[in-house]
Amino acid sequence: MSDAHSHHDHPPHLAHHFETPEQQMESGKLGMWVFLATEILMFGGLFCAYAVYRANNPDVFLFAHRALDTQWGAINTAVLLASSFTMAWGVRAAQLGQRTLLVVLLSLTLLGGFGFMAIKTIEYAAKYDKKLWVGGLNAFYQSGGQLKDEAAAAKAADYVEHHGDPSADDHGGAHGAAASAHAAGGAHGETSGGSAGHAEADTQEAGEAEASGEITLVNVVPTQIVPPVAPASGLVADVIENPQPNLVGAQSFVTGVGAIQASHEGSHYPRFSELDPLEEGRTHIFFQIYFMMTGLHGIHVLIGMGLITWILFKSAAGAFSPEYYTPVDLVGLYWHLVDLIWIFLFPLLYLIH
Residues 267-296 that bind other proteins (CB under 8 A): 276-278
**What binding mask, one character per residue, do residues 180-219 give for other proteins by CB under 8 A, x or -?**
-------------------------------------xx-
339 binds other proteins (CB under 8 A): yes
CA distance 49 to 31: 28
Q: Which stretch binds other proteins (CB under 8 A): 31-39, 188-196, 294-302, 306-314?
A: 31-39
Q: Which of 16, 34, 151, 212 binds other proteins (CB under 8 A)?
A: 34
Q: 274, 195 in Cβ contact below 8 A?
A: yes
Nearer to other proteins by C-beta: 134 or 235? 235
Nearer to other proteins by C-beta: 55 or 211? 55
150 binds other proteins (CB under 8 A): no
CA distance 191 to 70: 25
Nearer to other proteins by C-beta: 225 or 348? 348
Long-range contacts of 84-92 (CB under 8 A, 24+ apart): 84/335, 84/336, 84/339, 86/112, 87/308, 87/331, 87/332, 87/335, 87/336, 88/332, 88/336, 90/328, 90/332, 91/325, 91/328, 91/329, 91/332
344 binds other proteins (CB under 8 A): yes
Helix (H) or strand (E) holding 49: helix 21-56
Q: Which of 60, 67, 69, 89 binds other proteins (CB under 8 A)?
A: 89
124 binds other proteins (CB under 8 A): no
138 binds other proteins (CB under 8 A): no
Beta strand residue intervals within the chain, DSSP E: 142-143, 146-147
Q: 339, 283 in Cβ contact below 8 A?
A: no
Q: 131, 138 in Cβ contact below 8 A?
A: yes
User: DSSP per residue over 231-258, as a string?
Assistant: --SHHHHHHHHSPPP---THHHHHHHHH
179 binds other proteins (CB under 8 A): yes
351 binds other proteins (CB under 8 A): yes
CA distance 258 to 250: 12
Q: CB of residue 238 vs other proteins: minimum separation in angstroms?
A: 14
The total of other beta-carbon atoms located within 10 Å of residue 170's CB is 9
In angstroms, how far is CA 24 from the centroid of its own chain?
Answer: 38
Site size toward other proteins (CB under 8 A) is 84
Residues of 224-259 as b/e, b for ≥16 C-beta within 10 angstroms? Answer: bbebbeebeeebbeebbeeeeeebeeeebeebbbeb
176 binds other proteins (CB under 8 A): yes
Nearer to other proteins by C-beta: 119 or 137? 119
92 binds other proteins (CB under 8 A): yes
352 binds other proteins (CB under 8 A): yes
78 binds other proteins (CB under 8 A): yes
Q: Which of 95, 107, 142, 309 binds other proteins (CB under 8 A)?
A: 95
Nearer to other proteins by C-beta: 133 or 186? 186
5 binds other proteins (CB under 8 A): yes
Nearer to other proteins by C-beta: 107 or 233? 233
347 binds other proteins (CB under 8 A): yes
40 binds other proteins (CB under 8 A): yes
Task: Compute CA distances 24 → 10, 15, 96, 182, 266, whole Å.
Answer: 12, 8, 19, 60, 54
245 binds other proteins (CB under 8 A): no
Q: CB of residue 86 vs other proteins: minimum separation in angstroms?
A: 9
Q: Which of 82, 104, 226, 302 binds other proteins (CB under 8 A)?
A: 82
